[in-house]
Amino acid sequence: MKPVKVGLLGLGTVGTGVVRIVEGHQEDLQSQVGSPIVIEKVLVQNRSKDRNIPIDVSKLTEDPYEIIQDPEIDVIVEVMGGVSQTKEYILEALSRGKHVVTANKDLMALHGPEILRTAKENQCDVLYEASVAGGIPIIRTLIEGFSSDRITKIMGIVNGTTNYILTKMTQEGASYNEVLKEAQQLGYAEADPTSDVEGLDAARKMTILSTLGFRANVALEDVTTKGISGVSSEDIQYAQRLGYVVKLLGIAERQDEYISVTVQPTMVKNTHPIASVNGVFNAVYVYGEAVGETMFYGAGAGELPTATSIVADLVAVVKNLKLGVNGQQASTAYKEKKLKSDEQIASKYFLLLHVDDRAGVLAQITQVFAEYEVSLESVLQQPNPSNPEAEIIVITHDANKAAMNKVLQKFESLDVIRKVKSVYRVEG
């Protein structure tokens, strides 16, 4: 039983987890694939740095080409992150017939089609389960579990940092800035949190999920993205009072052949399964025409959960190696991508308006909704004790985005509206 040799690019948190699982679970892995799996070489930035796992220093290298060009190495596991340099390494590894397992959502969201094409040309596998939702096996679920179905909706809580922040804001009534600071101290948020809190990380993951779910190559720029930095504790309290929670949701929808993908803070009815996903946990809700509602829940990040997905991919690559069927993944993006226009994107909306507290205001406002044919599910007007203003809360029925944009534009020119305080999509 010739051992399968792995070159590991990166030995940070996730890389360390990969070493731990491959070494700690070696017996189980061998029982499944029939040969030892050996981590042969590891790319690090600094060979002499102290590591918190025992690893033979002779395996460490600072030169990526010592791994990529090593004819002995069968599989590259890429957990170094980054895009352009990393892409070069991966393309070169593929051109040399090495299979690739990656956790790199940025790379797959931006260059997935090119990488998968190059893999096919070289009869290599590229697997990337760990790139979305850490330990949740959502990618194989979309490719294999639902191969028979037609998915119409994917909603994901795919960023743990923002879900942690929103959960804390909800449970403790704290402000965004307070909780962000705490999350940074706990290591749940980066010093520069932009990629997480502005929804960019979630957008990359939704690019990958929607490409798989809808079987068409969705590009990152197709995703309209709004983060959580504008979510106030007031909004969260209004949501709670009405039976909703605020979540940063990635929402990918398909109707007929037209799709839309967004990331935005969303008010979710608290009876919806995804509403109770709290803290750093992730979940992906998938609706299929035949299967109906499903949801997949688990840790979205972390050393061992993410490494679980990477090593599961490694097992799949090695099984294919044994059978001689690498690079035979059926194309998953065989459909032409057709994006919805704003007229085709429909959802319910929540609006919080600050208005003049005088007669006839509500009539003027409802008239605007009527003009653009946006019908209303509920309207609540109440005085604002601290101001000479009243507050009006509106929840619409399904309204198309183009019409809502016109309503909001019209509101700007309406004297009685002092401020459109908040606008949220509503789900569930």
Q: Active-site residue numbers? A: 205
Region binding its own copies by CB under 8 A among candidate stretches 105-113, 133-141, 235-243, 372-380: 133-141
Stretch (H or E) spanning 241? helix 233-241
- Give the integer Cα–Cα distance in Å for 132 and 107: 12
Task: Please list every residue from 229 through 258 that binds its own copies, using CB under 8 A.
Answer: none
Q: Which stretch binds its own copies (CB under 8 A): 137-145, 197-205, 360-368, 385-393?
A: 137-145
Can residue 31 be called a binding residue for its own copies (CB under 8 A)? yes
CB atoms within 10 A of CB 419: 11
**31, HSE (Cβ side, Cα atoms, 13 Å):** 3
E strands of 256-365, at which residues? 258-269, 281-288, 292-299, 346-356
Q: Find the shortest distance in angstroms from Cβ 61 to its own copies.
A: 25
Distance, CA of 62 to chain centre: 31
Whether 190 has a binding-site annotation, put simply, is yes
Q: Is 33 near its own copies (CB under 8 A)?
A: yes
For residue 14, which of 77, 74, 93 has the smallest C-alpha distance?
77
- The yes or no reply on residue 162 touching its own copies (CB under 8 A) is no
- Tell me the window of 6-14, 39-47, 128-136, 361-369 that interacts with its own copies (CB under 8 A): 128-136
The sign of the CA dihedral 119, 120, 122, 123 is positive
**307 lies in the site for its own copies, by CB under 8 A:** yes
Q: Which of 59, 296, 337, 402 binds its own copies (CB under 8 A)?
A: 296
The pair of structure tokens assigned to 172 is 């403790």
| Binding window for its own copies (CB under 8 A); candidates: 205-213, 323-331, 340-348, 352-360 | 323-331
CA 6/CA 98 separation, integer angstroms: 10
Contact status: 294 vs its own copies (CB under 8 A): yes
Q: Tell me which of 64, 213, 298, 428 binds its own copies, using CB under 8 A.
A: 298
- Based on the shown chain and the rule CB under 8 A, indicate whether residue 177 belongs to the binding site for its own copies: no
CB of 169 to its own copies, least distance (A): 19
Q: How many helices (H) and strands (E) does the chain have?
A: 14, 17
DSSP symbol at 335: B
The answer to whether 330 contacts its own copies (rule: CB under 8 A) is yes
DSSP 149-173: S-EEEEEEE--HHHHHHHHHHHHH-
Does residue 316 touch its own copies according to CB under 8 A? yes
Query: Does residue number 145 form part of the binding site for its own copies (CB under 8 A)?
Result: yes
CA angle 269/241/382 to nearest 5° reads: 125
Q: What are the residues binding its own copies (CB under 8 A)?
A: 17, 21, 25, 28-29, 31-34, 129, 135-137, 140-141, 144-150, 215, 273, 276, 281, 288-299, 302, 304-305, 307-312, 314-316, 319, 323, 325, 328, 330-331, 334-335
